[in-house]
Each structure stands twice: as C-alpha cells, then as structure tokens.
Amino acid sequence: MLYAIFCYNDEKVTSAWSREEDAACMAALGAVQEGLKARKTLGPVARLMPTTAAVTLRKGKGEPLVIDGPFAETKEQLLGFYVVDCADLEAALQIARDLGVANPTGAYEIRPMMLFDPGTGIAALNR
C-alpha cells in the first residue's frame, strides 16, 4: 500500500533556522531516507518552497482568481511530503515516528494514496 506522509511545520520556526541547523535537520532526515531506500519502501520525496512562493487558484462564480499564498491560513504549513510503500498503516506510522525523531517539531499526516492513471482512467489503492 502506498502512503503519503505530509510534513507540516510553522514556517516562521523553520525559516529562522541557521544554515547549520537546517543542514543538521536535513542530514538527520537523510539518514532516515537512506534506511527507507535500503528497505525499498521510499518513493518520491519533495521539499516545498515557502508559502510566500505559492499562488492559489480559487474558483467561484465567474473567472477563477489567482491569489498569492497558500490555500488556507493556518499556523502550520505543508513543507513537503514522502511517498512510501508499506505493508500497512502501522509500518507507515513507524516511518513517520522515525522522521519525527529526525525533525522533532511539526506534525506528520499519514494518508493512504490512490493512484490514478489518466491514460486508462483506472484508480487503484495498490500497485
């Protein structure tokens, strides 16, 4: 089963890190990623740019409106995500726990993924 693990944190906190603090966190996360690679459970990983670089297309009546910033105002922002291939939710939770040790602030949302193949129109929970 594929799971997405979304990484949330307060950008005010993470953007205040020194280069050394950021590098240390990324190195610790990299160590977790190496273990996942060795177990062949790691899929794509993305670190998102700050929400100040984002725009949102908001639909409503009339023409869609493009606005600066994230979709919703929250205290924590989506900073990145992992895609992992796990036997079950408990295995995905353990990966999120390991990531949480490497980066002890913020939150991790674990959500099963459904793949959609636009060429075939097939949606599937499993590969």
pLDDT at 115: 72
Contact 9, 77 (CB under 8 A): yes
pLDDT at 127: 47
Is residue 58 in a domain? no
pLDDT at 52: 83
Is residue 34 in a domain? yes
Spatial neighbors of 7 by CB under 8 A, at least 6 apart, are: 78, 79, 80, 81, 82, 99, 103, 106, 108
Is residue 28 in a domain? yes
Which residues are bridge partners to 117 per DSSP?
A: 122
Whichever domain contains 98, its CATH number is: 3.30.70.1060
Is residue 54 in a domain? no
pLDDT at 6: 93
Residue 26: what residue type?
M
Quick check: helix, strand or coil at residue 59? coil
- Sequential pLDDT tens for the chain (127 residues): 899 999 999 988 999 999 999 999 999 999 999 999 999 999 999 988 888 888 777 777 778 778 776 666 567 788 899 999 999 999 999 999 999 888 878 889 998 887 776 666 555 555 4
Structural domains of the chain, count: 1
pTM (2 decimals)? 0.78
Structural domain boundaries enclosing 9: 2-48+78-124
How many residues belong to the chain? 127
